[in-house]
Structure 1
Amino acid sequence: MDKTLSNKDTRRGFMRTITIITCMGSLLFGYNTAVVNGSLSFMSLKSQLSLSPFNQGVVSSGLTLGAAFGAVFGGPLSDKIGRKKILLFLGLIFTFGAAGCAFSANALMLLGFRFILGLAVGSASANVPVFLAEIAPSEMRGQMVSMNQLMIVFGQFLSFGVNAWLGSQFGSNAAIWRVMLGVATIPGIILWLGMYFVPETPRWLASRGKFGEALVSLKKIRSEAQANSEIKEIEASVKKDQEGSKKQSSWQDLKQPWVLQIVITGATLGVIQQFAGINSIMYYGTKILQASGFGERAALISNVANGLFSCIGAIIGMYTVDRLGRKKLEYSGLVVCATCLIAVGLISTFGGGAGWTGTAVMILVLVYILFFQGSLGPVTWLINSEIFPSKYRGLGTGITIFVLWFANFLVGLFFPVMLAGLGLANSFYIFAACCILGIFFVHARVPETKGVELEDVETFFRAKYDKSYTGSSKI
C-alpha cells in the first residue's frame, strides 16, 4: 500500500514538473506580449529609438503578427516532428529573440526581433495547450490546460512588475528598456533545457504508430492499469482516424464539412476572445489609466494591479473549469465583461472629469480582468485543444490560433487609433458589442467538453455535420 501511494506521489510530482517546464512557453508568451506596456515610453525617447505613436503600435503588434504565422506553421510542424521537439526548439528561439531585442540598435532591428519572438509565441500558444491536453488524464485536463492561461497572465504580471521596479529605480537611465526586454532570456533557457527531460505525448507517439513507446510514456504518468486501459482507447482512435487513408492531415481535409465546422468554431472563439478587448488593456493599460486621470508614474505602478488580478482570475478559472464546465464559464465571462466595458464607457461619457472617475474606471477594469482571465482566457485555449481529433489537431489548432493572433494583431495595431479617434467610451462600446454577439455564438456552436474523452468530442461534430456518419453523439 505504501509503495502504491509512493508511486502515485512520484507520478503526480513528475506531472507537475512536466507542466511547469512546458508552461515556460506560456510564461514567455505573456511576458513578451506585455513587456511593451511600460517600456514603450523609454523606447520612444529621442535619445533611444524615437518612436512615433504609429511606430509604437507597429513595435507592439509586430510580435502578434509574427505569432499569427508561428501558430499556423507551428501546429503542422509539431504533427511532423513531435510536440516535445517543437517546444525544445522554441526555447532556443525565445532566448535568441529576447537577446536580439535587448541589443537592437534601431526600430527596424527591434521590429525584426519582435517578429521572430512572435513566431515562437504563436507556435507556443498552439502547442503548449495541445501538449498538456494530450498528456493529461481526462479528469485533470481542464486544470492542467488552464495552467497555460495562468502562466500567460503570470508572465504579463511579471513583465508589469519588472517594468514598474526598473522604471522607478532606474528610470533616469533611458536605456533601461533593454533590460526589461532582455529578462525574457531566462525562462527561454529553462524551456530549452527542461524539455530534454520531458517525455513525448503518448497520443502523438501513437499517431506515428509507436504504440510501444506511447505505453512507456503513459506508464511514467499513470498507474500501470490506467496506462494499459488508455493505450487501448488511443490505439482504437488512431486506427479509426487512419481507416482508408495513411496520409497526414492537410489543407485538403478542410473540404470535409465536419472538419471545416470545427475550424470555424475554434477560430471564431479566438476572435471573440480578442475582440472582447483584453489586450487593449494588457498592452496599453498605462495609456488607459492616463486617459482616465492618472499621472505617468502612478499609471505605471497601478498597472501592476492588472497583472495581479489577471493571476487571481486565472487561478480561479483553473480550479472552476472542471467543476462548472466550459460553456458556463464562457457565458459568465462574456456577460460580466460586456457589463464592465459598458460601465466604463458610461463613466467616461457622463463622468464630466470628476475626481472619482479615474478610480471607478480602474476598479471596473480590474473586475473585467478578473472575470476575463477566469473564464474567456482559459476556456478559449482549452476548447481549442479539445475539439480536434488527433489526426487534425496540429493543423486545426494552427489555423484557429492563427486567426486568434491575427485578431490580437488588429487590436494591438488599431487600439491607439481607436482611442485617439473614437475615445475610450466608444472603443469600449465596440468591444462590449462583440461580447454580446459572442454569447449567441457559444450557445449555438460550442459543445460542453467537461470530463469528456478527447476521442468522444469528435462524435459531436461528426453527428452534427457529417451526413455519412452513422454514430451518435455522447455529448
Structure 2
Amino acid sequence: MGALSFGYNTSVVNGSLDFMSKPSQLGLSSWAQGVVSSGLTLGAAFGAVFGGPISDRVGRKKTLTFLGVIFTVFALICGFAPNTTVMIISRFILGLAVGAASGTVPVYLAEISPTKKRGKMVAMNQLLIVFGQFLVFVVNAILGNLFGNNAGIWRVMISLASVPGIALWIGMYAMPESPRWLTSKNRFADALQVLYKIRSKAQAESEINEIKTVTKQEQQNAKASWRDFKKPWIIQICITGGMLGVIQQFAGINSVMYYGTKILEASGFRAQAALISNVANGVFSVLGAIIGMYTVDKLGRKFLEYCGLIVCATCLVSVGLIKTFLSGLSWIGIAVMLIVLVYIIFFQGTVGAVTWIIISEIFPSRYRGLGTGIAIFTLWFANFIVGLCFPTMLEYLGLANSFYIFAACCVLGIFFVKARVPETKGVELEKIETFFRAKYDHSYKGQSHLN
C-alpha cells in the first residue's frame, strides 16, 4: 500500500492536469503545470533523506503507519485545494511521505526477505508502484469521460488517493517489525519470534545467528553518522546508488507516466481518446513489473539493466525519428503509442525494478537508513527535474528532441552500470559491502567475489 500510494500520487496529475488548468479552476500555465506535478517529487527527494534516519530510530513499522496518515490527510487537502499555492504546498508535503515510503518500503522488504527470493520480494514494490499508476489512469479515464463536462472532476481524481493511504495506515498494524531493525536495537528475542513467523525454524535460527555476528561486529564501531559518509568506500556506494537513480529517471519514464496524455495529444490523439489510450500505459507497466519480478532473481540485476537501457534508447530514438521525418501521416499517433508501450514494458521489467532492488541491497546494515536516503534523494531530485522541465521541453523542443535527450542518457547509463555496479543476485546482504570495500577501502584486507 505504501508503493501503491507512491504510484497513485505521482501519476494522478496525468489526466487531471488539463481539468485543473482550465480558467474556471486553477488556471495553470505550462510552467505552473510543471511545478504542480514536480512539487511532489521535490518533496519526495527530501522525504527520502529524512525517512531513512526516522525509520532507523523508531522502526520500519511505525514509520510506515505514520506515512499512511500523511497520505490520507494531504491527498484530501490537495483535492479540496482552493488555489494553486495550497495545491503546491500540499503536494510538497505529500511528496515528503512518498519519498519516505520510497526509501522505507524496499528496505523493509529486503530485510524480511529470504536471500533467494529477495529480488522478487523487493520487485513487488515496483509492481505496486506501477499498479498504482495503472489504477489512477483507469480512474481518470472513467471520470474524465463520464464527467468531463464538469471541470471540477479533478478534485475527485486527486481525493481518491486517500484510499490506499487509509489501507496502509490500518494494514501496518498487522505487519511484523523488521528483524534486522530489532537486532540493531539488541532485541534479539523479538527478532527471532518474527523470523519464526516468516521462515522455517531451522532457517530462522541460522539467520538470527548470522545477524547476531554481524550486529556485534557493527556495534564495536561508533554509531553511524553523517561523518561516516566521508569514507571513500561509503562515498562510492552513495555515488553508485545515486547515479542509478539518475539513470532511471533520465531514461524518461516519468515523462510518459506523468504526461502520457500530452504525449498522445502531441502525436495526434484527441483529448478524450488520449485519456482512454493512456490506460494502456498502465496495463503495460503492470505487465512489465510482473515480468521483472519473476526474472530478476534468475537473469541477474546487471543483465536486466543492460537489456532495459538498450531497448529504451532504441524506442525513444524510434519515436523521435518518426516525429522528425514522418510527421503529418495519419498513422503516426498509433505508431508512437505502440512504441511507447514497448518502451514501458521493457523499462518497468528491467531498469524500473532493478534500480530499487540494488539501492536497497548495496548499503551495509549500519549505513542503510542514511545511505538509502541519500541515493533515493538523488533519484527523486532527478525525477523532480524531469517532471518540472518536460512540459516546457515539449513546448519549446518538441517531442522528438526531448526523446533524443532521454535516449542519450540511456546510452550513458549502460557505460556507468558496466563500470560501477556489482551483480548482487543471490548474495547475502551482509556480503555485498565487500565489493566496495575491496575496491575503494585501502585498509580493508578482505576479498570480494562479486563482479
Q: Give the AA of the match of 2:134.
A: F
2:138 is aligned, of 161, 176, 185, to 161
Q: Give the partner amino acid of 1:425.
A: A
Ranges in structure 1 where 5+ consecutive residues have no aligned partner:
1-23
Letter in 1 for 2:235: L
Matched, 1:283 2:258: yes
Matched-pair contact (CA < 8 Å) for 2:30–2:392: no
- Does the alignment pair 1:429 with 2:390? no
Alignment of 1:76-91 (within 5 A): 76-91=53-68
2:259 equivalent to 1:259? no
- The answer for the alignment partner of 1:10 in structure 2 is none
Structure 2 counterpart of 1:456, one-letter code: K
Matched, 1:223 2:216: no
| 2:344 corresponds to 1:369 | yes
RMSD: 0.8
CA distance in 2, matches of 1:214, 1:451: 23
Please state how far the C-alpha of 1:417 moved relative to its aligned partner: 1.1
1:351 aligns with 326
Of 36, 41, 45, which residue of structure 2 is paired with 1:68?
Answer: 45
**Map of 1:451 onto structure 2:** 426
1:183 aligned to which of 127, 146, 160: 160
Structure 2 residue aligned with 1:462: 437
Once the two structures are superposed, residues 244-279 of structure 1 have per-residue CA deviations (whole angstroms, 9 ceiling, x without a partner) of 32x2x2110111111111000000000000000000
* Structure 1 residue 401 corresponds to structure 2 residue 376: yes
Task: Summarize the alignment of residues 37-436 of structure 1 with structure 2, pairs less than 5 Å apart.
Answer: 37-245=14-222, 247=223, 249-436=224-411
- Correspondence for 2:12: 35
Deviation at 1:242, TM superposition (A): 2.2
Q: Distance in 1 between matches of 2:142 and 2:109?
A: 33
2-side partners of 1:422 and 1:194: how far apart? 45
Q: Following the alignment from structure 1 to structure 2, what is the Cα–Cα distance between the partners of residues 102 and 413?
A: 21
Give the drift of 1:112: 1.2
CA contact (8 A) 1:68 1:402 kept: yes
Paired residue type of 1:69? F
Cα distance in 1, alignment partners of residues 274 and 49 from structure 2: 36
1:473 CA displacement? 1.0
**Equivalent AA in structure 1 for residue 368 of structure 2:** R
- Partner letter of residue 196 of structure 1? Y
Deviation at 1:295, TM superposition (A): 0.8
Give unmatched runs, 5+ long, in structure 2. none
CA contact (8 A) 1:133 1:145 kept: yes
**Cα drift, residue 281 of structure 1:** 0.5
Find the aligned partners of 1:65 and 1:41 in 2 and give their Cα distance: 21
CA distance in 2, matches of 1:244, 1:201: 22
**Structure 2 partner of 1:442:** 417
Assess if the C-alpha contact under 8 Å between 2:33 and 2:391 holds in 1: no
Structure 2 Cα separation of the partners of residues 148 and 392 of structure 1: 21
Q: TM-score, normalised by structure 1?
A: 0.94
Deviation at 1:352, TM superposition (A): 3.1
Please state how far the C-alpha of 1:161 moved relative to its aligned partner.
Answer: 0.3
Q: What does the per-residue CA deviation read over 1:138-180, in whole Å, with 9 as the maximum and x for residues that have no partner? A: 1111111000000000000000000000011111221111110
